[in-house]
Amino acid sequence: MKIVTSAAELADGCTFIPTMGALHAGHASLFQMAKAKSDFVVASIFVNPLQFENNNDLELYPRTPDRDIELASSAGVTHLWLPQESEIYPANFLKKSAGSIGEIFEGANRIGHFDGVVTVVSRLFDLLRPAHAIFGEKDFQQLFLIKTLAREGYKDIEILAAPTMRESDGLALSSRNIRLNESERKAATVIYRALLAARNNSKIEAARAAMQEICSMEPLFKLDYAEIIDEDNFATATDSTPNQRAIIAGWLNGVRLIDNMQMKPSTVNTGAR
Ligand code: PAF
């Protein structure tokens, strides 16, 4: 694996996985997916100051450079790009807006976060010009907004979604999981159980109520939202929405956890029995 500090050292047309480091098995699965697709796999590590609400969060963000290099190299990354902030954000860079969908759900909780995400991703795309870019489904709203960004400004970049990696008890892999103590870690499984319960309901109202009820039985977990959305536009789903997804977020002793799961395809619009 070659380590570079500037995109000028890299040709166009790679398969690209942008990250903020603190890499774990979830990232490794994205790298492996890229490796199966291409023999030119670029991963970047850039802790993007624009997507943090305050300096404290930015400073507390885990940084594990030696482990990251080892994991990227063993999971199939051929080029690791470690940009300087001045390359990503030159004096004249333009800040992008994620629009109204950047202000709901995760965006309502973290003001300006998705503007920062779409800004950095567009700068990374401008500098690197990849052929494909891979993002995890775990951050489903981020994936949605990046697909929108690509559709509007980067039609030549194919955005690929990688399925969420889970622990054996269902907890979605996340760099934040290491901040949970033993009892919080156990309590965190409530999220997966709530999503499964939602999935077993064909009616939106019942699915939402099932998630809320399961979460209310776990005293350590403070639910922020549990909703069923239309995957195609992120609006609240109705019973006749064909592509529904359950999304959930909440807190465990100050650690914010999010997850989502595709609902069983609705039979209403397809005519299927
Ligand atoms: O998901 C992430 O790690 C970040 O939001 C991303 C896409 C690398 C942008 O900084």
Is 84 in the same domain as 179? no
Estimate to the nearest angstrom the gap between the alpha carbon of 122 and the chain centroid.
Answer: 16
Q: Indicate the number of domains in the chain.
A: 2
For residue 27, tell me if it sits in a domain.
yes
Residue 112 near residue 138 (C-beta atoms within 8 A): no
Mean pLDDT along residues 140-158: 98
| Residue of 80, 120, 146, 148 to test ligand 1 pocket, by largest number of atoms within 8 Å of CB | 120
* Whether the predicted pLDDT of 271 surpasses 70: no
> What pLDDT, on a 0 to 100 scale, did the predictor assign at position 267?
53
Structure tokens at 191: 């999220």
Distance of alpha carbon 16 from the chain centroid: 15
Residue 30 burial (C-beta neighbours within 10 Å; 0-12, 13-18, 19+)? buried
Q: Is residue 169 part of a domain?
A: no
Task: Indicate if 27 belongs to the active site.
Answer: yes
Domain limit, last residue, from 135, 162, 189 = 162
Q: Is the pLDDT of residue 266 over 50?
A: yes
Judgement on whether residues 216 and 89 belong to the same structural domain of the protein: no
Q: Confirm or reject: Cβ of 139 under 6 Å from ligand 1.
A: yes
Residues 102-129: pLDDT tens digits? 999 999 999 999 999 999 999 999 999 9
Residue-wise pLDDT tens digits, 48-61: 999 998 898 899 88
Residue 94 pLDDT greater than 50, yes or no: yes
Structural domain includes residue 167: no
Burial of 45 (0-12, 13-18, 19+ CB in 10 A): buried
Residue 107 sits in which domain range? 2-162
Indicate if the pLDDT at residue 175 is higher than 90: no
In whole angstroms, what is the distance from residue 112 CA to residue 97 CA? 9
Question: Is residue 120 lining ligand 1, measured as CB closer than 6 Å?
Answer: yes
Q: Is the pTM of this model over 0.75?
A: yes
